[in-house]
C-alpha cells in the first residue's frame, strides 16, 4: 500500500507552491488538523460498520480490501466531504489508521527516518540522517494520539494508563518506543520511536560523514582485536550504540559474544552472538530481570567478551569485574560529558551496587578495567563526532591518570549552522601499543604524532551526506 507522506514545509527541498501534501490544495497545520478530525470520524463509523465476527476469518489482504470498499462507500455517501478531500489519500490514511500508526505510518515506511518524536497531538518531529525536522503532521486531538499510543503499546504486550503512565519497550521490528502520558506529560501524550528497520550506519558511513577519522578507526580496530576494554561515552542520541555496533564487528569471528541490553538495539552482523534482554517487573511487581542479573548470568555462559549496551547502575561493578578477570575486550556505553566525566559517573554507578567500597578501591577497579574511553557528541546541525579518545593509564595520588590520544576541535559553524572543525592527534603514543605489539598487532609509526588530521567537511560527496 502506498502511503501519502506529509511533507515538511521548512526543509523539504521540493519546490513548494503551497500544495504540500500533493492533493492540489493549500495545506498547513489548520488543514491537517481538520483532515485528521474528519478522518477519525469516518474511522469510527468504519469500525461501527465492520462485521467484527468476520474479521478473524479474513487474511490481511482481504481485510484491507474490505476496509477499502467500506471507506469508499462511506465517502460516496458524503459528497460534501469528497469535494474537500483527496479520496485516495483518505483511504490510504484510513488503512494506516486501522492497521498502522495513523499519521505516523508514512514515517514508519520511510527508510530514511530514524526517529519519530511526538510532543502532544500538534507537534511531530522526525529525524532523517541525523537531522531533526519539524513536520506538518498532526493528530486530531489527544484522544486520537492516545489511540495510536495504545495500539503501539498493546502490540508489545504492555498497557499504558493513569496507573502506569510510562512505557519503554521494543517493537517486534526492533524499533524502540517510549510513551509518557498525562498527568506525567504536561503537553499531552508523548511518543518517541527510535526506528531500527533501517540499515544501521557502518564504519564506512561514519567515515564518510566525518563522524570519525581513519586514524581513530585504526586505533580502535587494533584495540578491539587486542582485547582492550573500551567505554564509549556521550550524550543522548550522540551515536554511542551505533559506534558500539561497529566496534563489535572488529571482534575476531571465532570469539563468543554475549550482549546485554535493556531493549535490543545492537545489530551485530556476525555469528556466535548471544543476545540477552532485561525485563521489567510485571503489574504485580514480579519477574524483573536487571542488567546486573544478566551480567552475572552471562559470566556463566562462557563468553569471550561481554557487550553491555549501556551501563546505568549497579551492573557497573559486575561489568568491571568481568573486564578485570578474563573477559578483556568487553565494551559498553555510558552517558557522560567527556572521557574523564565517564569515569566519575562509573564511580557513582559502582556505588549503586550496594557494597561499601572505598573511593580508592573503586577507582583502582575502574583504572585497571577501562583502557580507552571514546567520547561522542551530537553537535550543532545534528552532526555526530568522536570528540576525544583518551587512554586511562592508571592512578596517581588517587586521581585517574589519562592521556588524550585523538580529539576534534570545533572551529565554528558553516552557513547552514552545522559544526565544522578538524580532528587532531594530541602527540601522545598510547601505552597500550606495547601490549598490542606483543600480540603482533602493529600500528603504523607516526600514527600518534602531534598534527591536524584533516578538516571535517560539514557536507560533502558521500551518499550519506548529513542533510
Ligand atoms: N555518525 C552519525 N551521523 C549521523 N547520524 C547518526 C550517527 N550515529 C548515529 N546516528 C543516528 O543517531 C541516532 C542515535 O544513534 P544511537 O542510538 O547510536 O545513539 P545513542 O547515543 O546510543 O542514543 P541513546 O542515548 O538514546 O542510547 C540513530 O538514529 C542513528 O542512526
Ligand atoms: Mg544507545
Residue pLDDT, tens place only, 250-291 = 999 999 999 999 877 788 878 889 999 888 777 677 888 999
Residue nearest to atom 2 of ligand 1 (CA): 384
For residue 306, give Cα distances in angstroms to 276, 310, 376.
Answer: 11, 12, 21
Is 68 in a helix, a strand, or coil?
helix
Residue 228 or 278, more confident: 228
The proportion of the chain whose per-residue pLDDT surpasses 90, expressed as a percent, equals 50
Q: What percent of the chain has pLDDT over 70?
A: 81
More confidently predicted of 308 and 466: 308
Q: Is the pLDDT of residue 303 over 80?
A: yes
Residue nearest to atom 30 of ligand 1 (CA): 239
Q: Which of 300, 315, 185, 339 is nearest to 262 (CA)?
A: 315
| pLDDT band at residue 462 using 50, 70 and 90 as cut-offs | very low
- pLDDT at position 140 is 84
Atom 9 of ligand 1, residue of closest alpha carbon: 239
> Chain-centre distance of CA 3, in angstroms?
25
Cell of 239: 551515536
* CA of 96 relative to ligand 1 center, distance in Å: 27
- What is the distance in A from the centroid of ligand 2 to the CA of 301? 24
Indicate whether residue 130 lines ligand 1 (CB < 6 A). Answer: yes
Ligand 1 center to residue 235 CA distance, Å? 10
Q: Within a 10 A sphere around the Cβ of 25, how many other Cβ atoms?
A: 15
Q: How far is CA 36 from CA 99, 142, 145, 291, in A?
A: 16, 12, 11, 42
Residue 6, pLDDT > 70, answer no
Cβ atoms within 10 Å, residue 320: 24
Structure confidence at residue 14 (pLDDT): 27
List of domains in the chain: 29-194 (3.30.450.90), 203-456 (3.40.50.300)
pLDDT tens-digit readout, 107-132: 988 888 989 999 999 999 999 877 88
Ion ligand 2, residue ranges at CB < 5 A: 240-241
Average pLDDT over residues 147-159: 86
pLDDT at res. 265: 79
- Strand pairing partners for 392? 402
| Residues ≥6 apart with Cβ < 8 Å to 66 | 50, 58
Mutate to test the pocket of ligand 1, among 175, 241, 331 (most ligand atoms within 8 A of CB): 241
Average pLDDT on 166-183 reads: 86
pLDDT of residue 15: 30
For residue 280, the model assigns a pLDDT of 79
Shortest-distance atom of ligand 1 to CA 206: 1
What pLDDT is attached to residue 9? 32
3-state secondary structure of 265: coil
For 316, the grid coordinates are 557497573
Q: Where are the alpha helices (DSSP H) in 249-303?
A: 291-299
Q: In this structure, what C-alpha cell is assigned to residue 381? A: 546541525
What's the mean pLDDT when you consider all of the chain?
A: 83
C-alpha cell at 59: 487474511
Measure CA 198 to chain center. 11
Q: What is the 416 CA–ligand 1 centroid distance (Å)? A: 21
> Residues 55-60: what's their mean pLDDT?
57
Residue with the smallest CA separation from ligand 1 atom 5 is 130
Counting ligands in written order, the one closest to the CA of 234 is 1
Q: Could you give the residue ranges of the DSSP H alpha helices within 281-411?
A: 291-299, 315-324, 339-351, 359-369
User: How confident is the model at residue 20, as a pLDDT?
Assistant: 33
- For residues 171 and 264, what is the distance between their CA atoms, to the nearest angstrom? 10
Please count the helices (runs of H) and the strands (runs of E) in the chain. 15, 16
User: pLDDT value at position 315?
Assistant: 94
Spatial CB neighbours of 26, under 8 Å, sequence gap ≥ 6? 18, 19
- CA–CA distance, 232 with 206 (Å, rounded to integer): 15
Say which residue, 422 or 155, is predicted with more confidence: 422
| DSSP letter string, 7-67 | PPTTT--S--SS-TTSSSS---HHHHHHHHHHHHHHHHHHHHHS-HHHHTTS-HHHHHHHH
Atom of ligand 1 nearest to the CA of 242: 18
| Contact (Cβ atoms closer than 8 angstroms) between residue 260 and residue 298 | yes
Q: 325-362, pLDDT tens digit by residue? A: 888 999 999 999 999 999 999 999 999 998 889 999 99
Strands 384-396 and 166-170: unpaired
Closest ligand 1 atom to residue 234 Cα is 21
> Residue 193: pLDDT above 80?
yes
Tell me the three state secondary structure of residue 297. helix
* Grid cell in block for residue 196: 531500527
Cis amide linkage into residue 124, ω under 30° from 0:
no
**Lowest-confidence segment of 45-49, 214-218, 230-234, 359-363 by average pLDDT:** 45-49
Dihedral sign for Cα 261, 264, 267, 272, please.
positive
Closest listed ligand to the CA of 239: 1
> In the predicted model, is pLDDT for residue 21 greater than 60?
no
pLDDT of residue 83: 64
SS3 category, 311: coil
Q: Which residues of 44-55 are buried (b: 16+ CB within 10 A; e: fewer)?
A: eebeeeeeeeee
Q: Is 263 in the pocket of ligand 1 (CB under 6 A)?
A: no
Ligand 2 midpoint to CA 198 (Å): 16
CB within 8 Å of 317: residues ≥ 6 apart: 349, 350, 353, 355, 365
Report how far ligand 2's centroid is from the alpha carbon of 413 (Å). Answer: 26
Q: What is the pLDDT of residue 423?
A: 96
Amino acid at each position: 500500500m502506498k502511503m501519502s507522506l506529509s511533507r515538511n514545509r521548512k526543509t523539504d527541498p521540493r519546490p513548494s507552491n503551497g500544495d504540500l501534501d500533493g492533493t492540489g490544495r493549500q495545506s498547513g497545520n489548520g488543514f491537517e488538523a481538520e483532515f485528521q478530525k474528519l478522518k477519525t470520524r469516518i474511522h469510527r463509523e468504519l469500525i461501527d460498520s465492520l462485521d467484527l465476527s468476520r474479521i478473524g476469518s479474513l487474511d490481511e489482504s482481504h481485510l484491507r480490501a474490505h476496509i477499502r470498499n467500506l471507506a469508499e462507500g462511506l465517502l460516496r455517501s458524503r459528497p460534501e466531504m469528497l469535494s474537500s478531500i483527496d479520496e485516495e489519500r483518505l483511504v490510504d490514511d484510513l488503512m494506516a489508521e486501522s492497521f498502522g500508526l495513523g499519521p505516523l505510518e508514512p514515517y514508519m515506511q520511510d527508510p530514511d527516518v530514524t526517529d519519530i518524536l511526538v510532543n502532544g497531538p500538534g507537534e511531530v518531529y522526525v529525524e532523517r540522517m541525523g537531522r531533526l525536522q519539524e513536520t506538518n503532521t498532526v493528530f486530531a486531538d489527544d484522544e486520537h494520539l492516545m489511540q495510536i499510543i495504545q495500539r503501539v503499546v498493546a502490540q508489545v504486550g504492555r498497557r499504558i494508563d493513569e496507573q502506569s503512565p510510562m512505557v519503554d519497550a521494543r517493537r517486534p521490528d526492533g524499533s524502540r518506543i517510549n510513551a509518557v502520558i498525562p498527568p506525567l506529560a504536561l503537553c499531552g501524550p508523548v511518543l518517541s520511536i527510535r526506528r531500527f528497520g533501517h540499515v544501521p550506519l557502518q564504519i564506512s558511513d561514519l567515515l564518510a560523514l566525518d563522524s570519525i577519522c581513519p586514524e581513530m578507526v585504526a586505533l580502535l580496530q587494533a584495540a578491539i582485536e587486542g582485547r582492550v576494554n573500551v567505554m564509549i561515552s556521550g550524550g543522548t542520541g550522540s551515536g554511542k550504540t551505533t559506534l558500539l555496533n561497529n566496534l563489535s564487528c572488529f571482534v575476531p569471528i571465532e570469539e563468543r559474544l554475549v550482549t546485554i541490553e535493556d531493549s535490543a538495539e545492537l545489530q551485530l552482523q556476525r555469528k556466535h552472538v548471544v543476545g540477552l534482554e532485561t525485563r521489567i517487573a510485571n503489574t504485580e511487581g514480579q519477574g524483573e530481570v536487571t542488567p546486573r542479573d544478566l551480567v552475572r548470568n552471562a559470566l556463566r555462559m562462557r563468553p569471550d567478551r561481554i557487550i553491555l549496551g549501556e551501563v546505568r547502575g549497579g551492573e557497573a561493578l559486575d561489568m568491571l569485574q568481568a573486564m578485570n578477570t578474563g573477559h578483556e575486550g568487553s565494551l559498553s556505553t555510558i552517558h557522560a560529558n567527556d572521557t574523564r566525566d565517564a569515569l566519575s559517573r562509573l564511580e557513582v554507578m559502582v556505588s549503586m551496587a550496594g557494597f561499601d567500597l572505598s573511593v580508592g578501591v573503586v577507582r583502582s577497579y575502574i583504572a585497571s578495567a577501562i583502557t580507552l574511553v571514546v567520547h561522542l557528541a551530537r553537535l550543532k546541525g545534528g552532526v555526530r563526532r568522536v570528540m576525544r579518545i583518551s587512554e586511562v593509564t592508571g592512578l596517581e595520588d588517587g586521581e585517574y591518570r589519562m592521556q588524550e590520544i585523538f580529539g576534534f576541535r570545533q572551529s565554528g559553524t558553516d552557513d547552514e549552522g552545522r559544526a565544522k572543525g578538524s580532528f587532531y592527534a594530541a602527540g601522545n603514543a598510547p601505552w597500550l601499543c606495547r601490549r598490542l605489539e606483543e600480540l603482533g598487532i602493529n600500528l603504523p609509526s607516526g600514527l600518534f604524532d602531534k598534527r591536524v588530521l584533516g578538516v571535517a567537511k560539514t557536507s560533502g560527496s558521500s551518499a550519506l551526506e548529513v542533510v
